[in-house]
Amino acid sequence: MTVVARRLAFVLALLGVPLLGLVARAQPGRPATSGQSVEGSALSAAVYDNLKRERQLLLEHVYRERRRPVHVSALGKVSLGDEQTLDVYPSADPDRPRRVLVAVNGRPPTQAERERYLEGRPSASADRQERARRETEQRRRAQDRLDDAFRVFLFVPAGQEMVEGRLTRVVRVVPRPGVETRSDVGKWLKRFTGRVWVDTAEKELVKVEMVATDSISLGWGVVGRISEGTRITYLRRPSNGGLWFPATVRYEARGRTLVFRSFELDSTTEWFDYRPHPATSGAVVATPR
């Protein structure tokens, strides 16, 4: 994967983490509530608590992921790869679950496809002390990203709507002026606004829609730029066991790579078939590749 591809995929993934409360599985403190209404503060705190609890429970589950990876050529052409279906298992590092390729375009993968997939996976370090240090740093960064989402944004109640047969509270999400951030993506979060839908009865996050209100430069604009209007849409649903877990995320992004080459990207990732991991009962096993 080229530097452009790594940077583009990195930015899209990181934006999804704090905005959606999806991947950052650290356990941060309660969200800041300064500048919000009492109702908005209470609602965001309840949602936050549910997300934190269910992220921990997610570490005790196996599930399937369906996606098309983003490819960027040496000349900056952005395209989507073949559809991949993966089994996702808990791991010793909560920010890096173990993924096993089980299908490509709906059929079993060939040996060559398995090998290509593994080529892109980070390998475990032989140095335990260095690996532990890296994993601790990754968890700290993940915590900072999620904290920044609640630090950057105000949550303003804006009525009620039905979403997938559920009565939800609609909440406008707007950046606070002049807020300081700690994470590597905090400054990018300030360039998004949107809406959140919260299940009225269960105080569960159902849907998120965020839109970029300004462009985001990668490498001072030389590597690329994600344009204003880029949209992220995220859905959560209750699983068979009644727990709420991620269901889909869609990125509708446009911009430029290598200064001159424009791209449009419409990519959806799905998660489904959640089931308890038989080897985890509060403790996580298995080490990611």
What's the whole-number mean pLDDT along residues 241-252? Answer: 89
What region, left, alpha or beta, does residue 117 occupy, with left being phi > 0 and alpha being psi -120 to 50 degrees? alpha
Statement: residue 19 has pLDDT above 60: no
Give strand pairing partners of 227. none
Token look-up 């406008």 returns 172
d(CA 132, CA 144): 18
12 contact partners, CB below 8 Å, separation of at least 6:
70, 226, 251, 253
Q: What is the percentage of the chain residues whose pLDDT exceeds 70?
A: 74
Task: Name the packing angle between helices 128-152 and 3-20 (round to 10°).
Answer: 60
Give whole-number Cα distances, 33 to 45, 188, 269, 279, in Å: 9, 20, 32, 39
Q: Which two tokens stand for residue 234?
A: 């995220």
Is 207 among the domain residues?
yes
Asked if the structure places residue 289 within a domain, the reply is: no
Structural domain contains residue 285: no
Which of the residue ranges 22-31, 41-50, 86-95 would you say has the lowest mean pLDDT?
22-31
Whether residue 197 is contained in a domain is answered as: yes
pTM exceeding 0.85: no
Helices (H), 59-127: 111-119
Give the pLDDT band (50/70/90) at residue 93: low
Q: What is the pLDDT of residue 37?
A: 56
Q: Is residue 282 part of a domain?
A: no
Number of domains into which the chain is organized: 1
pLDDT score recorded for residue 40: 59
Query: Residues near 259 by Cβ (< 8 Å), separated by ≥ 6?
Result: 221, 222, 224
Residue 147 lies in a domain: yes
pLDDT at 66: 97
Mean of the per-residue pLDDT values for the chain?
77
CA atoms 80, 81, 84, 90: torsion sign: negative
Q: What is the DSSP letter of 107?
A: B
Tokens at residue 184, please?
Answer: 């590597």
* pLDDT higher than 80, residue 264: yes
Q: Residue 225 has what pLDDT?
A: 78
CB 230 within 8 A of CB 254: yes
- Host domain of residue 234: 3-276
Domain annotation covers residue 157? yes
Most confident option among 17-21, 53-57, 63-67, 126-130: 63-67
CA quadruple 88, 53, 230, 140: dihedral sign: negative
Mean pLDDT of 26-32: 38
7 pLDDT tier (thresholds 50, 70, 90): very low
Buried-exposed string 17-40: b where 16+ CB fall within 10 A, e elsewhere: bbbbbbbbbbebeebbbeebeeeb
With beta carbons less than 8 A apart as the criterion, state whether 148 and 140 touch: no
Is pLDDT of 29 > 80?
Answer: no
* Burial class of residue 105, CB neighbours in 10 A (0-12, 13-18, 19+): exposed
Question: Does 10 score more than 80 pLDDT?
Answer: no
269 in a structural domain: yes
What are the pLDDT digits (tens) for 125-161?
546 777 677 777 777 777 777 777 778 888 888 999 9
Q: pLDDT tier at 223 (50, 70, 90 boundaries)? A: low
